[in-house]
Structure 1
Amino acid sequence: MIAIYARQSVDKKDSLSIDGQIELCRKECSEEPKVFADRGYSGKNTDRPAFQKMMKAVKRGEVDKIIVYRLDRISRSITDFGAVWDMLKEHGTEFVSVNEKFDTSTPVGRAMVYIIMVFAQLERETIAERIKDNYYQRAKRGVYPGGPAPFGFSVKRTVLGGKAASVLVPNEHIKTVEEIFERYAYSGVSLGSIAALLVKQGITGIGRKTWDNVSISRILHNPVYVKANADVYYYYREKGLILFNEIDDFTGKKALFIWGRRDRGANKYANLDEQLIALTAHDGIIDSRTFLACQRKLDSNRQLKRTGCGKYTWLSGLVKCDQCGYSLRVIHTRGYLYFYCSGKSNLHLCDAKHTESVREVENEAAAQIQAELDRLADAPEKDEPVDSHNAEKIEVAKIDGQIENLIDRLEESNEITMRYMNQRIAALDSRRSELLNLINTVSNRPRPSVPDVPFAELDFDAKKAIAHMLVSRVEAGPEHVKVIFK
């Protein structure tokens, strides 16, 4: 069919009415057309009922040609028109504009559309470049990207580099933030336990909403709180983020902002790849050791969720048959839970005749895990500042970069140059080893995540998190249960 589309703006009456537009378009028709008209709608976008109805007909392959009085009846945005034109081409629909005198069934008409498309691409690239430049300028100054302030901070207007800017300042809730990080990193509790505790204490959440797992997780993931040092730099580099600042700037004082677009409603921290991260104008609150301990725990929990199992036992994925080494899966029998060897049931590789009670295995494993936690708690901990080797770590990063550059240049070097470059690489590698030995001489690892309550009294999620953090596997059989720690 042939479709006529007409539109009249809501805020500015056109010199030609919708009826007048339709009448002119009819003169281009070789058959009776179907009319789609939007009265009182702006051309700033394509979100119009009659237009959308027409485009659905295009997608169904029902429209052979669309005729409009003027190009801007489709949209005043060249970019929007480009998207519409792509769809018309995909479904073999021709396009005619009466006023501009082009018809895509002719070579000249198609050429006109291609010219429009060139300008549309230029518009998109110009906008993208402008946004990118704006991002980098704001990131360079460390200003707040905008939106509601993170919990524990307020937005303050100030002047940075001679320009007005928004920065974050701690407020009365920052102590709650510190408590959240400390509890999650070192008390062995779950997100839900922390949320329940805050609700019990009568502490209001973000936007005066109640606390839940999601709100706690967002706080723990947010680098706006961390005192960013070299360890934090390495962590986010491994995550695939684009680091705006050089590692020299990660002195353990300033915090970080993550810049980057994401789908509306998507978790900002779920996929960090290719997002930009930059140091802030405000000082961090949480030391890097505590912050990274939380990130490792969160990362571990995310991996557990991907397995899609674990609702019956906090030992999910860890329990192995002591005879064949295959995983033990949970089965229901007469209202009780048992472990059954997958090597026997699925692969017929094991002759084990036993089934182990899930609760009995859990109780024995819990006792061994508690003993390990007691050992970790009693182990002497060296009271070393978090950033004691930050300068050495920064130097290691620089040496890594120098070695990579030299290796890249080796391919284009002659024999003499290669000899000197190899000597330089050897010297750099020797210095790197010295620095790493110095860093590792005094322990700078995070202190063990030992809960402040007995392991048996922890909730399901907390037990699961600690078990997967400490345990390599659990060997279970009729005679014994043995926990193998990492």
Structure 2
Amino acid sequence: MRILGYGRLSRDAEESTSIERQREAIEAWALANGHTMVEFVPDVDVSGSIHPEERRELGPWLTDPLKADSYDAIVAYRLDRVSRRLFHTVDMLKWADAHGKTLVSVTEGFDLSTPLGRMFFAIIAVIAEGELEAIRSRARDSFQQLQKVGRWRGGSVPYGYRAVRNPNGDGYVLEPDPETSTIVQEIFTRVAKGEPRLAVAADLTKRGLVTPQGKKGWTGPSIKVMVTRKAALGQIESKQDGLLVLLRDEHGLPLQRADPIVTTELWKQANEAVRDAARPLKRARQTAPLLRLVYCAKCDEPLYRFSNGHSKDFFYRCSGKTVRYNACTSTPVPAEGLHRYVEDLFLDEVGDAPRRERVFVPGEDNTERMTELREAIRALTERQTNAGPVQAEIIQETITSHETEYAALATVGIRKARYEYRETGETWTAWWKRTTWDERRTVLLNAGISVKVLLERPNRFQPGAWTVNLDLPTSLRESLERL
């Protein structure tokens, strides 16, 4: 009989029989029974939970008709080398029946051609699946315990970190890598400042820096993944039901596995920049420098930007012209001339006065910590519903502690945000010369200033007489210097 020898070394197993030993056992069995081994197929670092047809080496021998016709039986060291899943094992039985093949375990000695052999085969398959689940359960428990004590559980090291010997005990811990952590900090800083992710990626690629995947080409999406994940904060996220969930400790707070590479504030700024970049761009509109500042001296309606479309120059035209009950007859005012009038009037009033700047002083409160406590209380309350009496009591103590801290933060040491007026060391004239009309407009609007303008209709004999009044209320003449 022609046989296909199969060996597998699982990444899930704690103790595995080497590929060489499996091959030797199959060759000895074939020689003792007078069979010919067509090929020995090894699958290394392949889990027993993967379907046989999806495995790198064994798969083609099951799906390729030419290869499948070259042997009569698949022979393995043990059944769990073929599969640890009951349904996958049943699939293999069906496949063997449909293709006239048989399956052999050289150490468990069953014959699939008899009903008793098939029953024995099914029993072993159930045991193999149970062993797989037990191995995974032990692995999960081990991972959770390592995370709680701050040790590295193995696997891919997050970019920006490196695994080092635990100075306080067994195993390994993570610490910021001197080289790659500076790259992470640079990426977060540039993104937070609004630099496009594609530009950051192109620059890193040009400098020859290797990506977290060990490649040489950075991309915008890879930058986004790094910025939006919490690995750079030293925290752990895990997929649950297809969603990334932040792992928390027994107190309901984020589980910290390493020192953060970036600050929480920088992480928030970078993520806000990512969200802003995802928002649809608004069409830029040309805003007149004196919009909402200038009014018609004839009917008190606001003036707005008006252009005939044949010149880059524009006018201010009274909005009353389009209102039926008004139908203002005032003449459109050339923008360039009106800007000069407003500038001269404003600087004549306050040009030599010292300018003070209104500065925002952020409040000192504990909003971030209070939010963190609320999330911890919520998570602990959910955990408490499924806990036993003793565990529920322990959780309640933690909840009470969080609630006490929350109440204290809500009433103590909170200072509201405020504005202060500070000397800038320059006059209003100096400030005016170095600013744009957009900046000036904002200041004038905040001051409550308005301008009344009227241009007598010009003709070929008269250029038209200007009437421009700067409406600066008495109550604002002094406060203007403090804006």
TM-score (structure 1 length as normaliser)? 0.46
TM-score (structure 2 length as normaliser)? 0.46
Structure with the greater alpha carbon radius of gyration: 2
